[in-house]
Amino acid sequence: MMTLGSNVKGALWMLASALVLTAQGSIVKHLGAGLPVTMILFFRMVLMTVIAATVLTWPRGGRGPDLAVLGTRRVGTHALRSVFGLGMMSATFYAVTVLPLADATALSFTRPIWSMLTSFFAFGEVIGWLGGIATFTGFGGVLVIVQPQTGIHHGMLIALAGAASSSLALVYNKRLTSTEPVSRILFYFSGFSTLILIIPALMWWQTPTAAQFAWLGLMAVCGSMGQMMASLALKYGEMTVVTPIDFIRVPAAAFAGFVLFGEAPTVWTFVGTAIILAATLTILNVRRGRGGRTMATPPVDETSASMPPR
């Protein structure tokens, strides 16, 4: 019986993740036509809080729910991570609703480039001349997509701000993982985010219809499945092998945008994405060569990463 190599398994998991996360983006865009982004985010976080709490406290060995695992001594760090993580999700969801799906997806891939800067300022990581060139080249790819000479859509700036906020969330995530399990990090992220969103949700409250509730549930499932698949891809395959597969989300988003929403992508979206991909691979190789931990994990919805056993 033929067995698949580790990199092949990783590539297949990343391909599946790319398609599922594209479906999630399409659902967000569909919901955004009838619901405020604040409501989409609020229900997303409520669902994720329930899921995270259930997984974290699930009875093991015939015992009842273990509420003690919810305890933490790092509430402040969890809160800061939640602020930046929620900033990323808010900006990403909003960008998806106002930009062509392909453009919003492409700009989300700038997170590794922002991470290069945050790693330098937060951890004193030496970028080096090659890393510096790759970072500037990546932002050159952003300019190709944004096309500033024709006017910059505010949604593109918000998408870039979301990618930058995501890199800051990863700084605190990196600090938390030294003592906290992923399931607890996710629980506090979704819980704090729900609390933050209560007042905005009440201000723009709109009760979803039955169909919208169904789409919201499917969105949460797609987000969780997509990130679980991405985590498996990174478990089995090398980062430099599986990361390029994730960029399939750009043509997949372009196809979904064209078929579902009548959006016609421009050639500059794909040219800029190719430049960002080249810069990302260079950054990954620079970090691997220095033995540093890469922060270039899948860029969309990293906050709903899979939840391994506590």
**Is residue 297 assigned to a domain?**
yes
pLDDT for residue 54? 81
Per-residue pLDDT tens digits for 13-30: 989 999 999 999 999 999
Residue 1 is assigned to a structural domain of this protein: no
Domain of residue 96: give its range. Answer: 6-304
Instruction: Considering only residues 3 and 8, tell me which one the structure prediction assigns the higher pLDDT.
Output: 8
Nearest to 167 by CA among 249, 239, 87, 274: 87
What is the domain count for the chain? 1
DSSP string of 219-279? HHHHHHHHHHHHHHHHHHS-HHHHHHHHTTHHHHHHHHHHHHH-----HHHHHHHHHHHHH
DSSP class of 182? H
Q: Would residue 198 count as lying in a domain?
A: yes
Q: Over the stretch 295-310, which tens digit does the pLDDT of each residue have?
A: 444 444 444 433 444 4
Residue 68: band (very low, low, confident or very high) from pLDDT cuts 50, 70, 90: low
User: Is 118 domain-assigned?
Assistant: yes
Residue 224 is assigned to a structural domain of this protein: yes
Asked whether residue 89 carries a pLDDT value surpassing 70, the answer given is yes
In angstroms, what CA-CA distances link 29 with 36, 56, 214, 247, 258?
A: 11, 31, 15, 19, 13
Please state, rounded to an integer, the average pLDDT across all residues of the chain.
83
Is there a domain that residue 310 lies in? no
- pLDDT for 297 equals 45
With respect to residue 309, please indicate whether it lies within any of the assigned structural domains: no
Q: What is the pLDDT of residues 251-289, one digit of tens each?
A: 999 999 999 999 988 899 999 999 998 888 888 777 666
> What global pTM score does this model have?
0.83
